[in-house]
Amino acid sequence: MPPTRLVVPCPHQFVSSPVQHSRRTFLSSILASAPVPPQTLTASRRLPYNHAALYSIIADIDSYSAFLPYCSSSRVTSWTAHKDPEFGRHWPTRADLTAGWGGIEQTYTSRVFCVPGSIVEALSGDGARSGIAPDILAKYGLKDDPITAPASTIGSGHSGEEGVFKTLITRWTVTPNTSGGRGEQTEWSDVNLNIRFQFANPLYGVVSSAVADKIAPIMIEAFVERARKILG
């Protein structure tokens, strides 16, 4: 579905008076102490393709950096132990991704849960929990155990530096739709993207506020173009 690199100017890059620095420090401390509410972004599309074919594209996390605009690096680091009998392949269970928007970028490790043909969910942060039912996870040999989650991997790789996200959950869902076809095309599918995230610091929310609500629609349009390129 996660070391830290912020593409945000640091205070020492500006020449400022002691008063200006004092005001900035005061504002930063006030914002840092304020609660940071989680945010949810969603987007959906109905596409004239087989749902299994679309799912295979969604589960190809290694290729995300090739077509998703807010992902600059993606690498699967762990796979399921056994091949899925229906698809004849292994599914990712952990991945390292570099993503960001609004001048903020971060590399983080995600736990990945794949429900073959239906859901690809990536969770980052100690507080992130899967929205997939435990019995469905168990069916595919998966378990959402926060104890085994990599501690602080969503944060910085540098001592004392705070990570951008407290939690980041990205969930792709694809379902077949037999009522959406037109003409001779009978195989249609609904694709939904849901992104839930919580910033570690409200300042990041201020920086990204101008683009946050556009992220999911832009990502799903990029996916549509990817599907057209691969599936025709």
pLDDT digits (tens, 9 = 90+) for 166-218: 888 999 999 999 875 555 567 899 999 999 988 887 777 777 767 778 889 99
DSSP state of 132: S
What pLDDT, on a 0 to 100 scale, did the predictor assign at position 199? 82
Which CATH number does the domain 39-231 belong to among 3.30.990.10, 3.30.930.10, 3.50.30.30, 3.30.530.20?
3.30.530.20
Higher per-residue pLDDT: 24 or 85: 85
Cβ(47)–Cβ(189) below 8 Å: yes
Q: Tokens for 17, please give them.
A: 């008076």
Maximum distance among all alpha carbons in the chain?
70
**Average pLDDT in the chain:** 78
SS3 49: coil
Condensed to tens digits (0 to 9), the pLDDT of residues 130-171 reads 999 999 999 998 988 764 444 334 443 332 345 677 888 999
Condensed to tens digits (0 to 9), the pLDDT of residues 155-166 reads 433 323 456 778
DSSP state of 90: -
Question: Rounded CA gap, 40 and 121, in Å?
Answer: 14
What pLDDT, on a 0 to 100 scale, did the predictor assign at position 223? 96
Question: Rounded CA gap, 87 and 41, in Å?
Answer: 30
pLDDT at residue 30 tops 90: no
